[in-house]
Amino acid sequence: MLLTSQTIAADNDRWYSDEQVKLGKELFRQNCAACHGQEAEATPNWKQTDANGNYPPPPLNGSAHAWHHDLNLLRRTVREGGAKLGGQMPGFEGRLNAAQIDSVIAFFQSKWPDDIYQRWAGRFETSDLPSLNDIVVAANRPLTNLLRQRIGDAKIDNVAQTSIEDVWQVQIGNRYIYLLDDGKHALMGDLVNLESGRNITERSRRIAAVAAIAEFSDEDLVIFAARGESKATLNVFTDTSCPFCQKLHGEIEKLQEAGITVRYLPYARGGSSGPGYQQLKSVWCAGDRNQAMTDAKNQRFDSLPAGDCAAAAMIDRGYRTGNKIGISGTPALIKSNGEKIEGYRPYQELIPQLLQ
């Protein structure tokens, strides 16, 4: 037998067998390929809705977000399609039996690179969450009619199917609510899977935080790099006028020595009228931002430039991003998996928490 990387993976540590992949390939070509492509690669531009607000068939080869869904949700999507959600995908209930559905899933999962498969199998226990968009349904669907009437023009950012039958998660800014009963009822609170112990709402918050922070490049920020090998990254929303931010900054070398890279994002408490707003602008306009950050944290302002350069726009951007992910005070610490730690932590406590 010819050993390809796929058969090795299948033999080693994937849930399906080579037989299932082979059968699934046939079934996929007959039932799915017209929309999702022969190799499950269509449509590359899957985040773009058409003129009617419909999403195209997303790639199932690991490049889109099919891997955000557990096996049961994947099975259900194939069985029921998207019609219930106002989507375009037909359901295959009655056309494919359970074993056949598992085979088509095995086929498209065989296209997933190993790191994606491992993340799916580990269900987000790894620390590097992706910055993917969990769009499943457009927000203007009948499902959200009543909700939209109730909350006025508040912007619904995302509507996603959960792994629970007929329960949909709606994201409104940094809040998540759940629609039940075809959108007649809304439940506000965290959804927890008691079998796995995972908080599904928290997972969504973390994905959103990681995605929001990923919009900033290193050049946008003030970075205190790890000494030697970087073992962990900590994003810190900071305000130079905040006493606990100053205290944290006083310990920054301890973090760097422990292999932690600290990425500072600006968050002026109180926005443009807050005490740190102008200070942060000056820091971002300085030639040596790291030195300027340290000076400002020590409330030494004599060598800081005026905050009137182009980079000063970052202060408003940081504030908007912080609000978008639900930050209300500083310092706000965001781990690389999107987990939020509110407020100051002494380095003795923080370092083990970041390196675990």
Cα separations in angstroms, 186 against 147, 172, 178: 8, 13, 5
Does 249 interact with ligand HEC (rule: CB under 6 A)?
A: no
Q: C-beta of 54: minimal distance to ligand HEC in Å?
A: 6
Q: Which is nearer to ligand HEC, 36 or 263 (CB)?
A: 36
Q: C-beta of 39: minimal distance to ligand HEC in Å?
A: 13
Where do we find the tokens 């100053």?
246
Does 117 interact with ligand HEC (rule: CB under 6 A)?
A: no
Which residue lies nearest ligand HEC, judged by its C-beta?
A: 82
Does 31 interact with ligand HEC (rule: CB under 6 A)?
A: yes
- How open is the CA angle 231-232-233, to the nearest 5 degrees? 140
Q: C-beta of 282: minimal distance to ligand HEC in Å?
A: 45
Does 65 interact with ligand HEC (rule: CB under 6 A)?
A: yes
Q: C-beta of 75: minimal distance to ligand HEC in Å?
A: 9
Indicate if the alpha-carbon torsion angle 204, 41, 89, 75 is positive or negative. Answer: negative
Q: C-beta of 276: minimal distance to ligand HEC in Å?
A: 41
| Chain Cα centroid distance, residue 43 | 21
Residue 28 pairs in a beta bridge with none
| Three-state secondary-structure class, residue 180 | strand
Where do we find the tokens 């919009």?
215
Compute how many residues bind ligand HEC; rule: CB under 6 A. 25
Q: Which is nearer to ligand HEC, 61 or 246 (CB)?
A: 61
CB 245 within 8 A of CB 330: yes
Residues 132-191 that bind ligand HEC (CB under 6 A): 136
| Chain Cα centroid distance, residue 136 | 14
Q: Which is nearer to ligand HEC, 72 or 298 (CB)?
A: 72
* Other Cβ atoms closer than 10 A to 206: 20
Does 276 interact with ligand HEC (rule: CB under 6 A)?
A: no
Q: Identify the burial level of 337 via C-beta atoms within 10 angstroms of its C-beta, where 0-12 means exposed, 13-18 middle and 19 or more buried.
A: middle
Please choose, out of 74-82, 284-292, 323-331, 334-342, the segment that lies near ligand HEC by the rule CB under 6 A.
Answer: 74-82
Longest dimension (CA), the chain: 75
Q: How many CA atoms lie within 13 A of 86 on its CB side?
A: 19
Q: Which is nearer to ligand HEC, 88 or 199 (CB)?
A: 88
Does 90 interact with ligand HEC (rule: CB under 6 A)?
A: yes
Please choose, out of 32-40, 150-158, 194-202, 302-310, the segment that lies near ligand HEC by the rule CB under 6 A.
Answer: 32-40
**Token reading at 188:** 């506000």
Residues 42-61 that bind ligand HEC (CB under 6 A): 55-58, 60
Cα(182)–Cα(142) distance, integer angstroms: 9
Does 78 interact with ligand HEC (rule: CB under 6 A)?
A: yes
Q: Residue 93 carries which DSSP code?
A: B
Q: Binder to ligand HEC among 42, 74, 236, 285 (CB under 6 A)?
A: 74
Does 36 interact with ligand HEC (rule: CB under 6 A)?
A: yes
Residue 107, C-beta contacts closer than 8 angstroms, at least 6 positions apart: 20, 21, 24, 25, 27, 28, 40
Please choose, out of 66-74, 196-204, 238-246, 278-286, the segment that lies near ligand HEC by the rule CB under 6 A.
Answer: 66-74
Cα(304)–Cα(257) distance, integer angstroms: 27
Q: Binder to ligand HEC among 20, 61, 77, 279 (CB under 6 A)?
A: 77
Q: Which is nearer to ligand HEC, 41 or 316 (CB)?
A: 41
Q: Binder to ligand HEC among 37, 62, 87, 266 (CB under 6 A)?
A: 87
Which helix or strand (DSSP H or E) is residue 253 part of?
helix 252-257
Where do we find the tokens 């905040």?
242
Where do we find the tokens 């950012």?
157
Please choose, out of 69-77, 209-217, 246-254, 323-331, the segment that lies near ligand HEC by the rule CB under 6 A.
Answer: 69-77
- The contact set with ligand HEC (CB under 6 A) reads 31-32, 34-36, 55-58, 60, 64-66, 69, 74, 77-78, 82, 87-90, 92, 104, 136
